Amino acid sequence: AMGGHHWIFENNIIMHINSAGLEFGNAAFESKDTNPLNKKPRPGIDERTGAMIVRNNTIYDCGTAGMRSYKVRDCIVENNTVHDCCWQDGEEYYETAGIKLLRCFNTVVRNNHIYNIKAGHAIWMDWDNQYSRVSANNIHHIQTIEGAIYFEASRLPNMVDNNVIWDVEGEGICGHYSSELMIVHN
């Protein structure tokens, strides 16, 4: 989506991608130039990224992530099936997950089916999330060094509720460096 807003991704099949199957919101952190001093913002990136709907997609066989976003607000990610992702075995690259959302505001991730994730999280809500919710997801057969649902470094209220999680090599749910995170009825 290249930093745009008000996109709808619905009823797509995304498969056989070497990196991330779907990226939305602002630009992700991948670049051939590893020197952070040389990185410049992409032209046309709107700071109001968001109001995305990602619904009823099937995403599989992606090397680092099924879907990834950065800095979105008012987003719904629901009823997606994400499986057989993160096979690049790059979990310590810290961008790998079935669904990885970074810096979300007022975002809901619900009713997704995520399974067969190797070397990554099923759902990773990364850094500075606010008023967001991970609810009613069906998650199984996950191998991760942290948590199948991993909520990281968020200080304002967020919620993880009513998820079904089983057969995880690692933790089921991990709230790392977060406060006001409600984890209930999983």
pLDDT bracket for residue 141 (50, 70, 90): very high
Specify the amino acid at residue 105.
F
- Report whether pLDDT(35) > 60: no
Q: Are 119 and 94 in contact (CB under 8 A)?
A: no
User: How much is the pLDDT for 28?
Assistant: 56
User: How much is the pLDDT for 47?
Assistant: 58
pLDDT tens sequence across 98-109? 999 999 999 999
pTM of the complete model:
0.90
Closest CA to 142 of 184, 86, 93: 86
- Report whether pLDDT(95) > 70: yes
pLDDT bracket for residue 42 (50, 70, 90): very low
CB half-sphere exposure, 84, CA atoms < 13 A: 9
pLDDT tens sequence across 59-94? 999 999 999 998 889 999 999 999 999 999 999 988
User: How much is the pLDDT for 117?
Assistant: 98
- Report whether pLDDT(33) > 90: no
User: How much is the pLDDT for 25?
Assistant: 82
Closest CA to 131 of 68, 46, 72, 172: 72
Which tokens belong to 36? 């952070």
- Report whether pLDDT(125) > 80: yes
- What is the residue-averaged pLDDT of the chain? 90
